Chain A
Amino acid sequence: MLFNSLEFVVFFTLVLAVIAVIKHRYFQHLFILSASYFFYYFSGTYFISILIASTIIDYFLGKEIFRAETIKKKKLILTISIIFNLGLLGFFKYTNFAIEQFNGRLQNFNVQQIPLLDLALPVGISFYTFHSVGYLIDVYRGHILPSKSLRDYAIFVAFFPQLVAGPILRSKLFLPQLKEKFESSDKIRQFVIENPNLKLGITLMAFGFLKKMFFADNISQLPNEIFLNPIGLDSFTVILGTIAFGIQIYCDFSGYSDIAIGAALILGIKIPKNFNKPFFATSPTEFWRRWHISLSSWVRDYLYLPLVFNRRKSLTAVFLGMMFTFFLLGLWHGAGWNFIVFGLLHGIYVAIDTIIRMKFPSLTKLVFFKTKIGTIISILFTQYLVFFAFIAFRIQDVDQLSYSMQKFVLLDLQTNEVLAVILQNKVSVALLFLFVILHIVSYKKSNLIESISDLKLRYWTLFITLIIGAVLYLYDANPDDFIYFRF
């Protein structure tokens, strides 16, 4: 079930109506769980069995880790549980990729090729696997107690707003919210639709729909056209396509995250933000603090820090740790060499950035970088690197990828093609400009969404009307899927 579909609007309205009617917390939780499974079934049909099975197994493994008396035993159970979860993810996501690589190597030896498996990727498996693994590691580390209730744990894994494309939830932030007590009494709170949450949640969702359906879906034709076969295109056309794709994927994914966070907030569940104006990052490291925050903080806490913790002063360890972390982060996005290139590029960026900061700490304190011009130069340089890496995210074909990257770096200064592309895609180009203006406005006014949701009801209604109008009037009859649904 896509957020940008009529089915979701009907589904979500019905969920809110039923939640408002049910007063008993136990039944509310059961209903939310059922609704989440229904939502997932609608998106992924029989894959729901894998979701339920892995939820049950992880729930009991979490308990076993907690109960184990020795560290050795805890570690053994944790290892088994990680192998189980990542094995399941790896099987569905990477088996055919591995077979293809294997067949490619064997081609020269005249050996019979291994047939590809008829596998479909279960919707959201990359996200809920990380929920579960994070939970199990937190239990192992003693950061949280294992969930006492299978129902609560199942809601944590399957909570429908974030189930299929994140943000990746942390158990220590989510599970306590199901057990929170009312300030005024000892009663455990229910899913309560409260006025401030409702208004802020709707505003967030409205912004999410605006980003996805107004910007991303209408900008997408530009990169789609340019990258269908970029070989032969001039540098400026490739750069235009790359900028358009970077903005498209940001609007697409952060739009999805906003809808998810808004929907959860309306139900009274707070999920931290997943994007924080990443195009204003002044360094690659800062970019990852602003882009897909739930994923980057997850890999930092559960992968990178454990890898280098004891050798964090060693430049080699930091570099290798970064490269390995970002290699996996790239691979997480999809089974393809282009995603590995995407990950490794960011690995190089962040590793070099980190090493420079470690080796020359005085550099970061230079007054120049605090000035307006210094900040602008830092932003532009960072975004040049970031958008360069987006090419790898977008193009799978190796020849097309290397051609486009070459054109992005070595400018040929030809303009004929790019002018024709702009003339043919005036609306997309106009929306790119509009996006940049609005992005700057939202950067200058950091709490824009909160300010809008605090408006008087009539002004707020006017604002919501404008957003719905913008979305409807530029709604294409054939909308694109959310890009992160593939992951």
Chain B
Amino acid sequence: MNGKIAISVAIAFFIVFLSFIPFYQTFRVHNVWEIQNDPFFSQIAKSSQNKIFILGGSAVGQLNTTDVNDIVSKNLENYEVFNLAYNGDLPNLRLQSLDSTINAKPTIVFYGISYWSISDYAEQGNTLSFLGKNFENIDLNSINPKATTLNAIRIAFGDDTGFFPEDKIKLKNTPFFFFAQDQMIIADEEKLKKLDVDRTMNKVHQNPDTSIQLQAFKKTIEKLQKNNIKVVVFAVPLHKNYLQVVPESDKEKFKNTLDEISQDYDVRIYDFTNRYSQLDIWKDPYHVALNPKSNIFSHDIAQMILSEIES
């Protein structure tokens, strides 16, 4: 009888896991960094305009690309700015779409990073290659059954927009980033105090000798330069509350890393980290709000682009 019970439990597990595979394949939430096959790249490649790409994560995504584009195109004929930021960008994730980015033939690429970008906080895991060819591209760490189920529920209720719900706003020339209402609101002091200190310290911890992200970042620069694409790096701005939490040793290491990159790859670095730390322009401690009062960030980025193109 014990054997029968054990077999029953094994069958229960088998049925559940077996049913999950097609469910996952049907409803899985595509990761935001899986942009390499997006039609944006092939469409933009045909354009005769000089293309300026801005890469980065959500901190870069918060730029008002329309404003940046207006300022740049007013001063420079035949140039167009595209903001290719997506949530949670990391250099090793960006590498996956780098060939598509290069094939779109940008003239210059601006890459916005910060402490967390090269800290190895989020490493990519192993693949399920041991299960055979069909699973080689499934990243074990990226399988999130809950996200898959929620996506299935969303679709079942008629919302087929997948990862991006309908109430989100999309700016022109910002193909991979969407804005919810709260991303446009400047937060008050109380909300800016909401910071998970332990998590933040863990997230910004710099270890340049072993950082996989730093290696990927350097590889990205090398690859772009090999394809005659000029690269400019900028450190995204942060609020004073965030900067208070970042240990001084990590700030120092990050600065040294940027200096090294500048020397080794002859790359210009713009450091916006502290520039607006005291201003009232923030959505949260690490994102400038997309708000008319916060346009200083977009304007400064536009000026950076102009000075780099004109130099």
A: residues with CB less than 8 A from B are: 20, 193-195, 198-199, 202, 218, 228-229, 231-232, 427, 457, 460-461, 464-465, 468-469, 472-477
Contacts and interface: CB of A to CB of B under 8 A. Distances in A.
A103 B116 CA distance: 34
Contacts of B11: 461, 465
Contacts of A474: 145-146, 149
B138 interface: no
A194 B4 CA distance: 12
Nearest to B193: A229
Given A228-B196, A232-B190, A475-B146, A199 B16 contact: no
Nearest to B17: A472
Contacts of B150: 427
A468 B193 contact: no
Interface of A is mostly: helix
Interface in B221-272: none
B169 interface: no
Given A472-B16, A477-B145, 7 more contacts: A461-B9, A461-B12, A464-B9, A472-B17, A473-B23, A475-B145, A476-B145
Given A198-B2, A229-B194, A427-B150, A477 B141 contact: yes
B196 A468 contact: no
Contact of B146 (A193, A457, A469, A477): A477
28 contacts: A20-B2, A195-B1, A195-B5, A198-B2, A198-B5, A228-B194, A229-B190, A229-B194, A231-B190, A457-B4, A460-B8, A461-B8, A461-B11, A461-B12, A464-B8, A464-B9, A465-B16, A468-B12, A468-B16, A469-B19, A472-B145, A473-B20, A473-B146, A474-B146, A476-B144, A476-B146, A477-B141, A477-B146
Which of B15, B141, B193 has the most CB atoms of chain A within a 10 A radius of its CB? Answer: B15
Nearest to B192: A229
A335 B148 CA distance: 39
A228 B146 CA distance: 23
A407 to B, nearest CB: 14
A232 B188 CA distance: 11
Contacts of A231: 190
B135 interface: no
A465 B12 contact: yes
B122 to A, nearest CB: 11
B190 A218 contact: no
A467 to B, nearest CB: 8
Contacts of B20: 472-473
Contact count band on B = 20 to 34
Contacts of A472: 16-17, 20, 145
Contact of B13 (A468, A476, A477): A468
A468 B285 CA distance: 40
Interface in B139-194: 141-150, 190-191, 193-194
Interface of B is mostly: helix
Contacts of B4: 457
Contact of B5 (A202, A232, A469): A202
A475 B4 CA distance: 28
B27 to A, nearest CB: 10
A473 to B, nearest CB: 5
A475 B142 CA distance: 13
A473 B12 contact: no
A232 B149 CA distance: 33
Contacts of B16: 465, 468-469, 472
Contacts of A476: 144-146
A193 B142 CA distance: 38
A218 B193 CA distance: 25
A193 B2 contact: yes
Nearest to B194: A229
Contact of A218 (B1, B13, B146): B146
B196 A457 contact: no
Contacts of A457: 4-5, 8
B146 A195 contact: no
A232 B190 CA distance: 8
Contacts of B146: 218, 473-477
A427 B154 CA distance: 11
Which of A228, A460, A468 has the most CB atoms of chain B within a 10 A radius of its CB? Answer: A468
Interface string B1-42: 110110011011101110110010000000000000000000
A461 B144 CA distance: 26
A473 B145 contact: yes
Contacts of B144: 476-477
A475 B23 CA distance: 14
Interface string B120-145: 00000000000000000000011111
